[in-house]
Homo-oligomer: A and B are copies of this chain.
């Protein structure tokens, strides 16, 4: 039996059909269509699902269940997107709307939590506690305890990126100051790099971003580090220092059996993941014989689809 996973974003809806092994066997995407009413988004999702099923040579009856990750606060019990700032939605009964349009069981959850569940599933569901942290324009996170997604009583929890690690520090988009997100997102890495570039006029970064610092990306930073550029190396050192601080915090809170790091830059094993592991170990010395396994994500951009499709398995 197959399942479908939907990753609802502000610009695109991504969808995939997964098999018994939670592998994606067919993928597709469509524009979200914003700004528009939620009904239109539901129409667009339903249209994408119908096309996907047809293109895969299946019928909707071959699909056991459909899961969706949405930005914002999602009440998984009622199937409601309570509040999603970047979709402009409040109290949208997506489960009902999609069930009407598609006629299959629908499960929804917050996108970061669903992506965490995808990585958890792909790691073999073998960990009794699993924390996923994804480094992108922000710091997203999801927590799996005893095979269940932890969201808190009001579905708004697991926001590890909005833990202040530097009181009165750099302003965060959430309104607080000094959140982990403000120091450990790729945006923060780029900011740190820009600061170093300004101090070091001879940095290779200038050439790599063609003299325009607004063109700096995570990729360029790692390219510069790889060629030994001092400014980029200094920025990455600062970045890893803050990232390790936040990871050590997460370990002291959860002592999860595994902590998985995702986001595009998590592919940088030698330059990011390995030095990070060492820095975290230095911050979590102590008397734990058994230590959290720190690992890089496997699924990257597919985690949302795989996790969403697998939601049907939680409620089975």
Which A residues have a C-beta under 8 Å from some C-beta of B?
73, 82-83, 85, 127-129, 145, 150-160, 162-167, 169, 174-176, 242, 245, 248-249, 252-257, 283, 285-292
- On whether A253 and B154 interact (CB within 8 A), knowing A166-B167, A285-B175, the answer reads no
- A160: which B residues are within 8 A, CB to CB? 252-253
Which residues in B have their C-beta under 8 angstroms from that of A291? 154
In the assembled complex, the CB of A179 is this many whole angstroms from the nearest CB of chain B, namely: 9
Q: Specify which chain B residues have a CB less than 8 angstroms from the CB of A292 in the assembled complex.
A: 153
**If the complex has contacts A82-B289, A145-B145, A287-B83, are A257 and B164 also in contact, measured as CB distance less than 8 A?**
no
Question: Are A252 and B162 in contact, with the CB atoms below 8 A?
Answer: yes
- Bound: A304/B72 CA distance, A: 39
- Are B145 and A254 in contact (CB-based, < 8 A)? no
Contact of A129 among B153, B257, B286 (CB under 8 A): B153
Using Cβ atoms and an 8 Å threshold, which residues of chain B touch A248?
A: 164, 176
Chain B positions within 8 Å of A255 at CB level: 151-158
Question: Which residues on B sit within 8 Å (CB–CB) of A127?
Answer: 153
Q: Which residue of B lies closest to A167 (CB)?
A: B166
Q: Among the interface residues A85, A158, A254, which one has the most CB atoms of the partner chain B within 10 A?
A: A254
- Name which residue of chain B comes closest to A153, CB basis: B257
Bound Cα distance from A156 to B158, whole angstroms? 19
Smallest Cβ distance from A159 to chain B, in angstroms? 4
Nearest Cβ in chain B — how far from A289, in angstroms?
7
Which of B73, B249, B253, B290 is A153 in contact with, Cβ under 8 Å?
B290
Q: How far is the CB of A177 from the nearest CB of chain B, in Å?
A: 9
Chain B, residue nearest A129 (CB): B153
Inter-chain contact A150/B157, CB cutoff 8 Å: no
CB neighbours (8 Å) of A151 from chain B are 255
Nearest-CB residue, chain B, relative to A130: B153
A sample of 22 cross-chain residue pairs with beta-carbon separation below 8 angstroms, ordered by A number, consists of A73-B287, A82-B289, A85-B287, A129-B153, A145-B150, A151-B255, A152-B256, A153-B256, A156-B287, A156-B288, A157-B252, A157-B256, A158-B253, A159-B252, A163-B249, A163-B253, A164-B165, A164-B248, A167-B245, A175-B286, A176-B248, A253-B253
* A157 and B283 within 8 A (CB): no
| A156 contacts across to B, CB distance below 8 A | 255, 286-288
